[in-house]
A and B are shown apart, each in its own frame.
Chain A
Amino acid sequence: MNDLQFLTWVRGGGLDIAVGIFLLGVLWRLFEIYSLGRKPDLSAPRHASGASGWHTIFRRSIPPPGMLKRSPVSYIGGGIFHIGLAVIVFLFVPHILLITNLTGLSWPGLPSQFVDLVAVVTMAAMVVVLVDRIKNPVKRFLSTFEDWFTWAVTFLPVLTGWLAVQHLLLPYTMMLALHILSVEILLVVLPFTKLFHAFTLFGSRWYNGRVNGHKGVPV
């Protein structure tokens, strides 16, 4: 298999398998999680301003008072790389083309040099977050194989994509194929690891906010 055949496979058969497993996993887990249900809370709701599911969704994107100082790397580093990933995935023109082709939705993209800059900043933030996880004894103690693994499968698509655009290390064709392959690995892994928070994050926040809002406690 030469590099163009490899690229054609990751764009064809490989993508088919990866998207298939991704959809299977996502639907499976969403059904499983949201069908668990809870006993209905029959107590009378206590009203307090700012206590609701929607408030919590927003509030938890902002560090609670004092926390930014206590763990700046987690908040700033984490914030930067999440926003960076969103910009790279959703505003890079070739990526929009892929989404358009798969779903029919389309929107304008950003100039590739800007996305390139965002990719570098994102990778830097991810490395800082990783170093913090290694150096901070508490974080290291709490980390399992899954944490290191999910960091790697998230980092690799950004790295290979950037290397491909910059024509570094390997010929473009091979690097592009490796980039798409790394994204496919991410797609396959996502529904079955903690990366599934991409789908459950806002649901969980809303749920927590609503339960606490019912009790009259803004969180």
Chain B
Amino acid sequence: MQGPLIDTLARQGITRRTFLKYCATLASMMALPPSAGLAMAEAIAAVRRPSVIWLPFQECTGCTESITRSHSPTLEGMIFDMISLDYQETLMAAAGFQAEEALHNAMKDNMGKYLLIVDGSIPLGLDGAYSCIGGRSNLEILKEAAEGAAAIIAMGSCASFGGIPKANPNPTGAVSVSDIIKNKPIVNIPGCPPIPAVITGVLAHYLTFGTLPELDDKKRPKAFYGETIHDRCYRRPFYDQGKFAKTFDDEGARRGWCLFELGCKGPVTYNACATEKWNGGTSWPVESGHGCLGCSEPDFWDAGGFYKALSMPADPLKIASAASVAGAAAGVAISVANRAKKGAARSAHETTGLADLEK
């Protein structure tokens, strides 16, 4: 797989026309001008395997699964193959010292130029002992690898925001990449797992323009995380009409009504699932009948339960009954005091004047 990408694609039966169409789609998906599609095609076609180092930390390999399995074969997959993935524990054949050597060679040879992809959160508890590779803590490895990186892509919700390892009570002291690295450009591609096209979109943008795409306040590419699931959801009209599925198998569910009442977090989740869909555009969670979990948002795991509607209390009310009893008791106590005062006033033959009315 040496030489320009376009040659490799041609060998695999991808025509120039298909490739151009793909780049134009990618450009329009990212809300770039039409000319950007061509620029992207030229840049990607000519690219000679930019070095990418992929570090897995506290993760479940779901992000890697998402990219390697969701499309076979699609252009996303091939472009992903085309980058020089110099270190990826799950995909690489090397192990042990060889793997470590590959990592260090890649870092040394491409100092200041390589892209660093991180999936998984970084545990800080017990001096990082919760997750080590080759006897070194994730924290140590990340700091070393980040030093020579041109940019860092935090892949998945764990690397972006801490994800499930950070869920309450966060036993490992998990944090995100941006909690540690402050002096490098970072793109967060959250999702559990993230959408493959988003990853290639960011890579394509970087290869074409040499910069990272426009990001929102959570460092997510605006092109993909600019709108909520709810706003782009094909079930949205039912929400507006007040038609909701009440259970997962009732008449409403069968008719494709809105899943808001079943706990869908679409209204507060910024991601592209509703437009990009999954498995090569086959379907996506809401289309398959389940509400959005909000997996591309920070701390989605602790956002009050997946099956509770957003307008429902996140936790059961704990002090309500105690407060009611206390309120009633206070009312009764004051009324006893008032009656005593009234009785005392009556027996003292007190009079009421204008000043009393102002009280």
Report which A residues bind B (CB closer than 8 A): 2, 4-5, 7-8, 11-13, 15-17, 19-21, 23-32, 35-37, 93-95, 97-98, 101-102, 109-113, 167, 171-173, 176
Report which B residues bind A (CB closer than 8 A): 218, 228, 231, 239-242, 244, 260-261, 267-268, 270, 294, 297-300, 302-304, 308-315, 317-320, 322-324, 326-328, 330-332, 334-335, 338-339
Given A7-B303, A93-B242, do A35 and B335 touch, yes or no (CB 8 Å)? Answer: yes
A15 in contact with B309 (CB, 8 Å) = no
Per the bound structure, the CA–CA distance linking A13 and B244 in Å amounts to: 27
Q: What are 8 pairs between A and B in contact, CB < 8 Å?
A: A8-B299, A8-B304, A11-B314, A20-B323, A21-B323, A93-B260, A94-B311, A176-B268
Given A32-B334, A110-B242, do A8 and B314 touch, yes or no (CB 8 Å)? Answer: yes
A173 in contact with B231 (CB, 8 Å) = no
**Residues from chain A with Cβ under 8 Å of B324 in the complex:** 23-24, 27
B317 in contact with A20 (CB, 8 Å) = yes
Where chain A touches its partner, the secondary structure class is helix
Write the chain A residue with the least CB distance to B330: A28
Per the bound structure, the CA–CA distance linking A37 and B268 in Å amounts to: 51
**Residues from chain A with Cβ under 8 Å of B270 in the complex:** 171
**Residues from chain B with Cβ under 8 Å of A110 in the complex:** 242
Partner of B318, one of A7, A16, A21: A16
A11, A17, A110 interface centre (most CB from chain B within 10 Å)? A11
A27 in contact with B311 (CB, 8 Å) = no
A24 in contact with B261 (CB, 8 Å) = no
B328 in contact with A28 (CB, 8 Å) = yes
Per the bound structure, the CA–CA distance linking A4 and B304 in Å amounts to: 10
**Residues from chain B with Cβ under 8 Å of A36 in the complex:** 335, 338
B338 in contact with A4 (CB, 8 Å) = no
Per the bound structure, the CA–CA distance linking A24 and B319 in Å amounts to: 10
**Residues from chain A with Cβ under 8 Å of B312 in the complex:** 11, 97-98, 101
A97 in contact with B332 (CB, 8 Å) = no
Per the bound structure, the CA–CA distance linking A24 and B303 in Å amounts to: 28
